[in-house]
Structure 1
Amino acid sequence: MAQFEPFDRQARRRARDRAMGLIEGRDQMLRHVANELAERRQLLGAAPEGRELWIGLMLPPPGVVGLDPSPRLAAAHGGLSGDEDQRHFPDGRFTRITAFMTLHGVNDLPGALLLARRALAPEGRFQAAFPGGYSLGAVRDAFLAADAAAGGGVPARLGPSVDPAEAAGLLQRAGFVDPVVEVETLTLRYRSLADLARDVRAHGDSGWLAGRARGLTTPRRWAAAETMFAQGADADGRIGVEVQILYLSARAP
């Protein structure tokens, strides 16, 4: 029996391909997360000398081996194109692996973590950052209300996310030791649901839910979701949207 996959792999590649030309001017969150990862890297301690793998090539640092689902991003940064839950490297090749804002779109997250651990040399260091928890709750609520009002059922709009309470266990199951999971809640502010949608698209994070509703976001339904979303506006007209960023770190035994 074929395993159910919540995310459309081809659609995800295309979304990240498109994002390469859209992210300029909308990369503030990515830069914030990159800085947070750099600070946590110091706390993680020194790794053995060797190669470093950087997964997710929106903001890759120089001098690392790169991997990204997007062929376009991989080509632009001299990296390899491929999914994180498929094997691309021999065991023990790297002494550091960083997964930057991609693991929320992996179909087999336990498998991806296992492959990352296997690709690390003994005492190698692993870090990851990605959205999880109850991110984009205001968006979920707006579409839920609009879809319910339209009738005919409530289609899937946003994909499953990782529960922060379960993240350390995923690292342990993959064979990592000394797992640490931290959660940072960011509040992003938008003037409209359409503005938020443009931001999500620029990050390559839209249109790849396998069970997504095709053709159901009619102008009337979108307008209803916009109205519901706008009810959360502050005095300046902007709506706050919370995104939970999970920071994971561990080492190989």
Structure 2
Amino acid sequence: MKLPDSTTPSLFDRLALDRHRARAQHEALFLHQAAVDEVQDRLSMVNKTFTAPAIVTPFAHIWQDVLPEARIVEDADVLDLTPGAHDLVIHAMALHWANDPVGQLIQCHRALRPDGLLLVVCLGGETLHELRAALGQAEIEVTGGLSPRIAPMAELRDLGGLLQRAGLALPVADTARLTAEYRDLTNLMRDLRAMGETNSLTDRMKRPTRRQVFARAQHIYAEHFTTSQGRLAATFDLICLTGWSPDESQQKPLRPGSATARLADALGTKEGKLSD
């Protein structure tokens, strides 16, 4: 695959992202452990044995024992995947940092054999909407401006559409929501740093943020997003995508007008005309 054009603006700063991930702490990677559980649950429902899997991940040690025979591939703009080499590709907790998410899915599709499965888990939806709202309002009130702080999160429907754009068949998209609780804003942001999930936006503010912004954000967060125990709630939506490399053996929708029975007969009711 052609390397991305260096002159094309990138939403994410990959060098910053790599630095953040290098400082991640194993005990803080609970979202990746949750993603492992989601993947194993979905694979248990697939009536097929996979013999040549690959896993795309920024944290190899989390996934290396999930499928011991799998080839572990580093998350990068250009994936080290061989075309047609795999019957299963898992893209694990990295698509939300991709500058070209469709390109990532296309690369995975190319690596699949016919009737091979792509399984993606990433953050999206309402992830960290509480933090986004609190920081945004606080910064506007204190500084009169707004800087990029939290990566934009794709909606479920949009991510499902990416599977079709990548040429995959039988696409399915669903969400597994997790809610974590924190004592205060400092602990939440410390946890995000330990996950390697802090701000890697290219246009992020490079100078230190004024303390008043965080103090005000703490107040706003506590006022609007506390649990019954008085702790701060933080939402993480794990988006799970599945799609298959097209194959003649797969089920296909019936051609419009090819039905041989009336719906009214199947429902045991009478068919009538709609009123004008």
Cα drift, residue 207 of structure 1: 3.0
Q: Which moved more, 1:89-98 or 1:1-10?
A: 1-10
The separation in 2 between residues aligned to 1:27 and 1:15, in whole angstroms, is 13
Cα drift, residue 150 of structure 1: 1.4
Instruction: Report 1:27-176 matches (<5 A).
Output: 27-47=29-49, 49=51, 51-56=52-57, 57=60, 59-60=62-63, 61=66, 62-69=68-75, 83=76, 85-176=77-168
The separation in 1 between residues aligned to 2:216 and 2:37, in whole angstroms, is 37
Which runs of 4 or more aligned residues in structure 1 lie more than 4 Å from their structure 2 counterparts after TM superposition? none
Cα drift, residue 111 of structure 1: 0.3
Contact map agreement 1:104 1:130 (CA 8 A) in 2: yes
TM-score (norm 2): 0.80
Question: Unmatched 5+ residue regions in structure 2?
Answer: 247-276
Question: Unmatched 5+ residue regions in structure 1?
Answer: 70-82
CA change 1:48–1:241 in 2 (3 A) is: closer
Highest Rg: 1 or 2? 2
The separation in 1 between residues aligned to 2:236 and 2:23, in whole angstroms, is 22
Q: Is the counterpart of residue 12 in structure 1 residue 5 in structure 2?
A: no
Contact map agreement 1:48 1:123 (CA 8 A) in 2: no
**Identical aligned residues as a percent:** 28
Cα drift, residue 63 of structure 1: 2.6
Aligned to 1:244: 237
The separation in 1 between residues aligned to 2:241 and 2:232, in whole angstroms, is 29
Alignment partner of 1:224 out of 212, 216, 224: 216
Given residue 210 of structure 1, which amino acid in structure 2 is its aligned partner?
T
CA change 1:89–1:33 in 2 (3 A) is: closer
Secondary structure of the equivalent of 2:173?
Answer: strand
CA change 1:124–1:148 in 2 (3 A) is: same
How many residue pairs match? The answer is 235
Given residue 126 of structure 1, which amino acid in structure 2 is its aligned partner?
L
- Deviation per CA, 1:162-193, whole angstroms, max 9, x where unpaired? 11111221101111101110112221111111
- Deviation per CA, 1:195-228, whole angstroms, max 9, x where unpaired? 1112211221113111111224122222221222
Aligned to 2:205: 213
Q: CA RMSD in A?
A: 1.7
Cα drift, residue 47 of structure 1: 4.9
The separation in 1 between residues aligned to 2:151 and 2:212, in whole angstroms, is 23
Aligned to 2:185: 193
Secondary structure of the equivalent of 2:103?
Answer: helix
Q: Which moved more, 1:230-239 or 1:208-217?
A: 230-239
